[in-house]
């Protein structure tokens, strides 16, 4: 199963990139790590699952929230174009624990994915 996992922060500068990444890819499942505001205001063109975090969470709670929301999967694509360090570190540590660092970084360029 090919799964896309993205950080979606509150700044809209990267939302266009994520919208195209979600639309252009052939993903079986899409997981967005965000907060309530992101969920209310981002309108993806495909069905997504939300992993809701709060920037004020302690790091361990943030990582555990993400970790326990990740699916069983064999092919994982990660995009961290949105967000910031604490969120990125929590996502990467959760992926390390769940998938033993077995994921690929994915980005949209002028040439495609």
CA neighbor of 95 nearest in space, from 20, 27, 5: 5
Model-level pTM greater than 0.95? no
pLDDT per residue over 54-99, tens digit each? 989 999 999 999 999 999 998 999 999 998 899 999 999 999 999 9
H-type helices in the chain, by residue range? 15-24, 36-41, 59-67, 85-99
pLDDT at 8 over 90: yes
């Amino acid at each position: 199963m090919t799964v896309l996992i993205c950080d979606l922060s509150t700044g809209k500068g990267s939302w266009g990139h994520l919208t195209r990444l979600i639309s252009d890819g052939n993903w079986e499942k899409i997981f967005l790590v965000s907060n309530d505001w992101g969920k209310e205001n981002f309108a993806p063109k495909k069905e997504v699952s939300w992993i809701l975090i709060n920037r004020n969470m302690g790091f361990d709670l943030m990582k555990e929230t993400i970790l326990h929301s990740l699916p069983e999967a064999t092919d994982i694509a990660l995009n961290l174009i949105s967000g910031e360090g604490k969120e990125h570190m929590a996502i990467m540590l959760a992926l390390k624990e769940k998938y033993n660092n077995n994921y690929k970084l994915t980005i949209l360029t002028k040439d495609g994915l």
